[in-house]
Chains A and B, each alone.
Chain A
């Protein structure tokens, strides 16, 4: 079973959201997602300043086998893309919830409640596996 940190929120499309200081959030893909993709070899993160809608494709992660879009779980303006992923995409395989973060953004307006808790995401993984 993949790890699912209790202090994060999740999307049904396997992204995670961490609340940082100053209202900024950090976004990445889950351990389950990186495992399903396999060895990552190329990552494209959004430019700082880009405005993203909830559900918009915001990054691309490519494994040896295939390219996959990452969908922004919440609307907002990008404050940073992870600069380390250009030379070390494998950080996502090694540390999906930490050094493998994809982008940080300042959320626009009020948060929707569409995100899942860790318990709800674990339940989703159970139903997907069976």
Chain B
């Protein structure tokens, strides 16, 4: 039977339509309730702008951290079989399924002022929790697995014989990696980084637990939205939610070849 030659059964269509509604109706509600008249003034308020700026800074910094740390990790995971490789894989994938608030508590207990490692950091004057670097770290903790898994999968598909060919042409190992391996996985590097950035931008649980909710210092956009919705200015929450929605759409469109075509 060829796909499309028969109609799907009506009850299945009904349930599928319900599933679509589950995604569509909330978005429609957001757009419908949006205070379009005051949207610009909401966006240009000082605390909204601060939250927006802070979110961009922390999410980009978290992405940069994920790229710098993630490329070597992905390469080792893709190319070497060492004892404990599966444990490392599980450990570095865990944040994808771990409730972010648990991640935040774990970070606090490890890197807080009295934490496992934090007590030593504190002595040399490094304070992460309730400071901006803490927000960056919390976002990187949650978002980095998206980058690592994407790049690792791409590295596995690189034909290692191309790297051999490069070596016979006088390229040392580092040069091969820089001039052959990385360019070959560039599309996946970009996709992984965009994915990682989107996840970092939306991070809530780990950030609020580890970095707190200090306006202008660690109050990122999702935290700001939550606070405003609960407090005096739900309109600001709605407008900034729309901003986050728009950013998500940009991510989706930029990754369309990866997600919207084959699947």
User: Do chains A and B stick together as partners?
Assistant: no
Interface residues of B (CB under 8 A from A): none
